Amino acid sequence: MQTVTMNNKLEIPQLGFGTWQIPEGKAAYESVRYALEVGYRHIDTAAAYGNEESVGRAIRESGIDREKIFLTTKLHNNDHGYEQTKEAFQESLRKLDTDYVDLYLIHWPNPIASRSHWQDANRGSWKAMEEFVRQGLIKSIGISNFREHHIESLLERAEIKPQVNQIRLYAGEQQHKLVQYCKDKQMVLEAYSPLGTGGLLSSPLIKSIAEEVGKSPAQVCLRYDVQKGHVVLPKSVTPSSILQNKDIFDFTLNAEQMARLDEMENICGPTQNPDETSF
Ligand code: A2P
């Protein structure tokens, strides 16, 4: 599995299995089990997804050595702050039934629960996360949905720089300024909703490029992000799609095809402003 090196010299597999919107129980357990069976070695979950227990059980029962799997989870929006983060992280470890996570992210920079004091709340969370890194309970730490001003505020006090920012990225939504800013700060970009939550798959442009390269529209979307250097996190509960989404390292989009995708409009709706959400 192709990897990307983070600023702490650790490797992250460039393809991960996204579990947002996969319900806890049979669906989460079976899809993660199948993803691991066909070769995924990177699973992305979150406290807010409510499926950590099934993800953990699927990993455990896969029989694959824990060290061979890259596991990410994220801090819940209601748990920002030093003490809350310490408790929330331990609860995630318990649910995942594991001794450590490979990557732990602050899921949202400015949730409604701590909006009046989001800067201090994030700094408190980060301090707790840094302590867990030193204790070996977390290997890498990062952020998700953060924009430049959220990152600036975090960096004022951070002792460990974020290793990644996980944001909404796909052909048509490339968040150019933010991506460049994160690259300048040596962060890896992780692309969530790389298929535009499925909305990109009927795009005539993507379909025509898929025909040109003899691949599926989903594979073209994922390959586009991979060639940009991003980590991709496609979600699926359908075995044939889980299998298909893995086969994105045996072909290349040429410069002209990449340029056509660069020109795409965002056909999947605007990305939410994290300072203005109701959650
Ligand atoms: P499903 O979960 O029913 O298989 P994103 O990763 O951008 O959030 O997109 C996820 C959506 O795309 C889900 O609705 C998922 O459907 C669908 N999907 C994922 N992979 C494929 C694929 N290879 N072909 C068609 N649809 C797919």
Give pLDDT tens digits for 179-224: 999 999 999 999 999 999 999 999 999 999 999 999 999 999 999 9
- Torsion 6-10-14-16 (CA) sign: negative
Q: How far is the CA of 216 from the centre of ligand 1 (A)?
A: 12
Class for the domain spanning 12-198+230-237: alpha beta
In the structure, which protein residues have their CB atom closer than 6 angstroms to any atom of ligand 1? 18, 193-198, 201, 216, 218, 234-238, 241, 244-245
C-alpha distances (whole Å) from 197 to each of 33, 103, 126, 152, 200 are 21, 23, 29, 29, 8
What span, in angstroms and rounded, lies between the C-alpha atoms of 237 and 22? 7
Contact 56, 97 (CB under 8 A): yes
Per the listing, tokens 């066909």 go with 38
Please report the pLDDT score of residue 75 as a whole number.
98
Residues of the chain with pLDDT under 50: none
Task: Note the pTM of the prediction, 2 decimals.
Answer: 0.98
Q: Which atom of ligand 1 is nearest to the CA of 233?
A: 6
What span, in angstroms and rounded, lies between the C-alpha atoms of 2 and 134? 27
Nearest CA owner, ligand 1 atom 23: 241
Q: How far is the CA of 119 from the centre of ligand 1 (A)?
A: 35
Residues in the chain: 279
Please report the pLDDT score of residue 1 as a whole number.
84
Concerning whether 49 is annotated as a catalytic residue, the answer is: yes
The token duo for 176 is 């150019």
Q: Which atom of ligand 1 is nearest to the CA of 195?
A: 7
- Torsion 30-33-37-41 (CA) sign: positive
* 3-class secondary-structure state, position 180: helix
Number of C-beta neighbours around residue 277 at 10 A: 14
Please report the pLDDT score of residue 34 as a whole number.
98
| Residue closest to 230 by CA, chosen among 151, 169, 275 | 169
| Residue closest to 89 by CA, chosen among 42, 138, 43 | 138
What span, in angstroms and rounded, lies between the C-alpha atoms of 58 and 37? 10
What span, in angstroms and rounded, lies between the C-alpha atoms of 111 and 3? 31
Q: How far apart are the first and last CA of the chain?
A: 36
Strand partners, 13: 3
Q: Which of 29, 40, 49, 192 is catalytic?
A: 49
Please report the pLDDT score of residue 69 as a whole number.
98
